[in-house]
Amino acid sequence: MSLAQTWDSIKERELFVMGAVLVVFAVFPYLLTDFFVMNMVVESLESAGMEGIAGLLDNMRGWDELASLILIWGIFAMGYDLLLGYTGLLSFGHAAFWGVGAYSAGYFSAHVSSSPILIVVVGTVVAVLTAWLLGYLSLRRGGIYFTILTLVFAQMMFYLASSPLSFITNGENGFTNMKVGELFGTYDLGSEFIVLGDFIGGWLYVFVAIIGVICVGIAYRILNSPYGLVFHAIHENEQRAEFVGLNVGRYKLMSFVISGFFAGVAGSLFAIHGSYVPLESLYWTTSGEVVIMSILGGTGSLFGPIFGAGVYLYIENVVVSLPVIGDFWHLILGVVFVITIAFFPSGVWGAITKIRSLVRRSGGDR
Amino acid sequence: MSLAADIASVLLNSLQTGAIYVLLAVGLSIILGTLKFVNFAHGALYLIGAYAGILIAGEMSLSNGKLQEWGMSTIGLDLGYAAALILVPILVFVIGLLMERFVARPFYDRPDTDQILVTFGLAVIVQELFRAMFGGNSQNFSQPKWASGAVNLPVVGNFPEWRLWVIGITALLVILVIGLIEYTDFGLIVRAGTLDSEMVRLLGVRLDRQYLIVFGIGAALAGVAGVVGGPLELVNPNVGTGILVPAFITVVIGGVGSTRGAIVGGLLLGFVESTLIALPSLTIGSFTLNFAPWSQVGMYAVAAVVLLVRPQGLFGKEVEA
Q: Which residues in B109-136 are b (16+ Cβ under 10 Å) and which e? A: eeebbbbbbbbbbbbbbbbbbbbeeeee
Interface contact flag, B249 A141, Cβ < 8 Å = no
Any idea what the Cα angle at residue A237 is, between residues A132 and B104, rounded to 5°? Answer: 90
Higher pLDDT, A354 or B272: B272
pTM over 0.90: no
Nearest CA in chain A to B238: A285
For residue B110, which of A320, A345, A87, A331 has the smallest C-alpha distance?
Answer: A345
Question: Exposed, middle or buried, B24 (CB in 10 Å: 0-12/13-18/19+)?
Answer: buried
Has residue B321 got a pLDDT over 60?
Answer: no
Residue A165: CB atoms within 10 Å: 16
Higher pLDDT, A299 or A65: A299
Does residue B117 belong to the interface with chain A, where contact is any CB pair within 8 Å? yes
Would you call B234 helix, strand, or coil by DSSP?
Answer: strand
Interface contact flag, B245 A155, Cβ < 8 Å = yes
Helix (H) or strand (E) holding B136: none
Tell me which of A20-24, B96-100, B106-110 is least confident: A20-24
Does residue B104 belong to the interface with chain A, where contact is any CB pair within 8 Å? no
Strand partners, A187: A183
Q: At what angle do helices A329-343 and A304-317 cross, to 10 degrees?
A: 150
The residue among B307, B312, B318, B320 with the most chain A CBs within 10 A of its CB, best to mutate, is: B307
Mean of pLDDT values over A82-105: 90
Q: What is the Cα gyration radius of chain A?
A: 21
B80 to chain A, closest Cα gap in Å: 31
Q: What is the pLDDT of residues B106-141, one digit of tens each?
A: 888 888 888 888 999 999 999 989 888 887 788 777
The residue among B124, B129, B309 with the most chain A CBs within 10 A of its CB, best to mutate, is: B124
Q: How far apart are CA A220 and CA A214, in angstroms?
A: 10
DSSP string of A50-98?
-HHHHHHHHTTS--HHHHHHHHHHHHHHHHHHIIIIII----S-THHHH
Has residue B72 got a pLDDT over 60?
Answer: no
ipTM: 0.84
What percent of chain A shows pLDDT beyond 70? Answer: 83
